[in-house]
Amino acid sequence: MQPELLMLDPSFVLSREGADWLASDHAALHQTVVPMTFMAWMQEGGPLEDVLALVAPDDRDGLAGRRGEIWELFSQMQTFSAQDAQLTENDEEIRVALLERGDPVSLMIADEWAFLQSQSWAIAKLPVMMDAFRDAGAAVVQYGRRLREEMIAVVIPQKGAPPALTPKLLTTAAAKWVVVGGAGAAGASLGAIGGAVFGSGLAIPAVRAFDP
């Protein structure tokens, strides 16, 4: 059985800390995945203005040069396209709503939505992904610092998370948000923490976001 991959939101990848982490942890390059649409934007040399919403103000200086460094790492990374996922009808409706916006960021987030609903885990520096999910009609159930710390203490040691999602990674400034989708064993592992709050079902598509 293949180990789970961790989706890296572009706000993580384009940050100084995220790029440094990728450059320093070669094993993580094979344990993580990025949206196919993000890879295509990088390959085509898309304008930086396309993705500024995904770049924190403190990461904007030197972004052009950092993009070149990141591109060299991408040859070792996997990508994920929404076309690779089998989604329920409700989840597909959210993906279509994201695609209908047509801008580069929304296309990247559509890939992330499909990944989360089919494979479960992502990290991000900025909450742009979650805001887009809400705008598209999904629920984002947000948990605070205490449950984030409990998740790190319980789920990761039980191997209920992707191998790349380590306590060390979650101490970096770039990994501010941990987002968990609805599918796979990782979702079940979360039942070990937070009591009944994780057991309550939602009638609409949802993700769970752990706040820093």
Q: How do the domains of the chain map onto residue ranges?
A: 6-210
Higher pLDDT, 189 or 147: 147
Helix axes 63-74, 16-24, angle to 10 degrees: 30
Using DSSP, state whether 128 is helix, strand or coil: helix
49-91 pLDDT, tens digit each: 999 999 999 999 999 988 888 888 887 889 999 888 888 899 9
Q: What is the pTM of this model?
A: 0.87
Between CA 101 and CA 179 the distance in angstroms is: 22
pLDDT for the residue 114: 95
Give which of 92, 94, 122, 124 is closest to 106, Cα–Cα: 94
Residue 180 belongs to what H/E stretch? strand 177-180
Alpha helices in the chain (DSSP H): 10-13, 16-24, 36-44, 63-74, 89-101, 104-119, 128-135, 145-154, 184-189
Between CA 97 and CA 70 the distance in angstroms is: 30
pLDDT for the residue 193: 44
180-205 pLDDT, tens digit each: 887 433 344 455 444 433 444 555 78
